[in-house]
Amino acid sequence: DGGITQSPKYLFRKEGQNVTLSCEQNLNHDAMYWYRQDPGQGLRLIYYSQIVNDFQKGDIAEGYSVSREKKESFPLTVTSAQKNPTAFYLCASRSGQGSALTYEQYFGPGTRLTVT
């Protein structure tokens, strides 16, 4: 089955530690995205990548870093510089093929990160 996987589902870290969240897709999608979801707020874009070896900052990139070495993978590192890292993190992907109007993003199951 094609889809997006995120691991782990739950992640616990101590304050001051960096942590890397995994996102893998086998949909052959070109673009991948990382969002953060907090209670009572809409999804906020952290980083996105439209092709391998290239990525752009989203609205809330401070304290985060990413890499895109393979088309299938887009890991997110939450660094100790992120002031409020506890949140639900969602990875998404989008096909770059077909009509230029097509922009549906498909989401993974999410990783809930708790930092204490």
110: left (phi over 0), alpha (psi -120 to 50) or beta: left
The full DSSP string for 17-48 is --EEEEEEE-S--SEEEEEEE-TTS--EEEEE
Instruction: Select the span of 11-19, 60-68, 77-85, 108-116 touching another protein (CB under 8 A).
Output: 108-116
Compose the 2-21 pattern: x for residues touching another protein by CB under 8 A, - for all others.
Answer: --x-x---------------
User: Does 45 sit near another protein (CB under 8 A)?
Assistant: yes
Task: Rule CB under 8 A: choose which of 58, 73, 77, 79 binds another protein.
Answer: 58
Collect all residues with Cβ–Cβ distance below 8 Å to 100 and sequence separation of at least 6. none
Residues lying near another protein in the complex (CB under 8 A) are found at: 4, 6, 33, 40-45, 48, 58, 88, 90, 92, 101-110, 112
